A = this chain, B = another copy of it.
Amino acid sequence: MYRGLVEELAQKNDSRILLAVIDGLGDISIEELGGKTPLEAAVTPEMDRLAAGGALGVHIPVARGITPGSGPAHLGLFGYDPVLYQVGRGVLAALGVGFELKYGDLAARINFCTLDDKGIVTDRRAGRITTEKCVELVGMLADIRVEGVETFVVPVKQHRACVVFRGDDQSDDIQDTDPGLVGHRPVPVEGSDKSRRVVREFLRKAEEILKGLHPANFILLRGFALHKEFPSIEERFGLTAAAVALYPMYRGVAGLAGMNVVKCDPENLSGQAKAVKKALDDGHDFIFLHHKPADSAGEDGNIQAKIRAIEEFDRALPSFLDSRFAVVCITGDHSTPCPMKLHSWHSVPVLIHGGPRRWGYSSAFSEKQAICGAMGTFRAIDIMPLLLASAGKLAKFGA
């Protein structure tokens, strides 16, 4: 609401905060569940206990009616107004695989694709080649040299990779070369500014290298984005933050906010629980914990899988509730209603436990109870100030 006010008032202390995000948590009333949402239908004794002793509310991810992508939704939760801090997909993809971007780098997502002999795209994903194949092809592209920039090509997963151009005076005003549909040629990069020349040259050399291979014989570029200066959560709020997330996208956004993206071994909830403890041992006072499966189930329209994903988180919850946390927040980044199979604009339940609060308003963690919870309705970017305040990390404004 007021740029800079929270930063001005932020103060360090020894309190630790857990922000647990169940991705795509919110949902809508579902006929098959008698009008309940998956969260309402799920058996969640641990979250219900926290709800009874904590304060509930709902957050609006960006603004009323606005459906956010995962990047903006998470930035909001971290206290970054997603409309002011717009981050391109290319940057998120590079950060997501742990590539150390520098300010001024130009990043884009790569899809390996299949062209026919007339240069028409016949498969935008080259038959979803294996990740091993992707690594091999990326190794071939890694040798490309383009004048005026350093070039980095990094594998992501299956047919996905990303490219980073490092050099002065770059611009991200470049359209996707992915035509979006098969049966079309890749969109050519026109224009004479430095970045367009660089990208054109890179594509020409990639074409030479991949020509004759099958099924991946060319690349499509999407989501060109400059990595612009981004204030860290430490600079802004004085938090030493760790991200305990398994998926590249979320690791990427957390890295963008300056969180230390930690290793989880094994890559599941129990590995995440161990990572949380270790991050606390290592002196972090803010932990972002990310649980993906609820969102994936919502995107699949799989109601029972979404219920199971929520229940699975609930069962694991005690393993995350380290006694060193003064404040625990559980929420989603956005709603992913099963009947829509998409992200949506609907509000998302928020639970805050710990710190001075009004309790006794709720008996369970649910959309229905959250809307009449003690905290009311607020924007996602208000969550961070509420957590800081609850942990005693915000000084008084004015006398």
Residues on A lying within 8 angstroms of B by beta carbon are 1-2, 5-6, 9, 28-29, 35, 37, 58, 62-72, 82-83, 86-87, 89, 92, 223, 337, 339-340, 342-347, 356-361, 367-368, 371-379, 382, 384-390, 394-399
Q: Are A65 and B394 in contact (CB under 8 A)?
A: yes
Min Cβ gap A390→B in Å is 8
Docked Cα-Cα span, A68 to B398, in Å, equals: 6
Q: Are B394 and A67 in contact (CB under 8 A)?
A: yes
- Excluding A6-B66, A65-B394, 6 further A-B contacts by CB distance (< 8 Å) are A1-B63, A5-B66, A65-B390, A66-B394, A70-B399, A368-B374
Docked Cα-Cα span, A376 to B398, in Å, equals: 26
8 A-B pairs closest in CB distance: A65-B385, A64-B382, A69-B398, A65-B389, A72-B398, A376-B377, A69-B399, A35-B360
Min Cβ gap A280→B in Å is 23
Q: Are B389 and A83 in contact (CB under 8 A)?
A: no
Choose one: B92, B379, B394, B398; the contact of A399 (CB below 8 Å): B92
Docked Cα-Cα span, A92 to B399, in Å, equals: 10
Q: Are B28 and A358 in contact (CB under 8 A)?
A: yes
On whether A382 and B344 interact (CB within 8 A), knowing A69-B398, A89-B399, A356-B28, the answer reads no
Q: Are A67 and B372 in contact (CB under 8 A)?
A: no
21 contacting pairs across A/B (C-beta < 8 A): A1-B64, A2-B63, A5-B83, A6-B66, A35-B360, A58-B376, A62-B397, A64-B386, A65-B384, A65-B386, A65-B390, A71-B398, A82-B397, A87-B398, A223-B399, A344-B356, A347-B376, A358-B368, A367-B374, A371-B376, A376-B376
Residues in B whose Cβ lies below 8 Å from that of A375: 347
Q: Are B396 and A343 in contact (CB under 8 A)?
A: yes
Which residue on B lies nearest to A93, using beta carbons?
B399
Main secondary structure of the interface of A (DSSP, over half): loop
With most chain B CB atoms within 10 A of its CB, the pick from A29, A63, A92, A398 is: A398
Choose one: B35, B69, B373, B395; the contact of A396 (CB below 8 Å): B69
Docked Cα-Cα span, A70 to B398, in Å, equals: 8
Docked Cα-Cα span, A223 to B394, in Å, equals: 21
On whether A346 and B367 interact (CB within 8 A), knowing A72-B398, A92-B399, the answer reads no
Residues in B whose Cβ lies below 8 Å from that of A378: 64, 377
Docked Cα-Cα span, A368 to B143, in Å, equals: 65
Q: Are A28 and B67 in contact (CB under 8 A)?
A: no
Residues in B whose Cβ lies below 8 Å from that of A2: 62-63, 83
Docked Cα-Cα span, A372 to B368, in Å, equals: 10
Residues in B whose Cβ lies below 8 Å from that of A384: 65
Which residue on B lies nearest to A222, using beta carbons?
B399
Residues in B whose Cβ lies below 8 Å from that of A359: 29, 35
Min Cβ gap A310→B in Å is 17
Which residue on B lies nearest to A344, using beta carbons?
B356
Docked Cα-Cα span, A94 to B87, in Å, equals: 46
Min Cβ gap A81→B in Å is 9
Residues in B whose Cβ lies below 8 Å from that of A5: 62-63, 66, 83
Residues in B whose Cβ lies below 8 Å from that of A71: 398-399
Docked Cα-Cα span, A71 to B398, in Å, equals: 7
Docked Cα-Cα span, A1 to B66, in Å, equals: 11
Choose one: B65, B373, B382; the contact of A65 (CB below 8 Å): B382
On whether A63 and B382 interact (CB within 8 A), knowing A69-B399, A368-B361, A399-B223, the answer reads yes
Residues in B whose Cβ lies below 8 Å from that of A89: 399
Docked Cα-Cα span, A284 to B250, in Å, equals: 42
Residues in B whose Cβ lies below 8 Å from that of A337: 356
Min Cβ gap A8→B in Å is 10
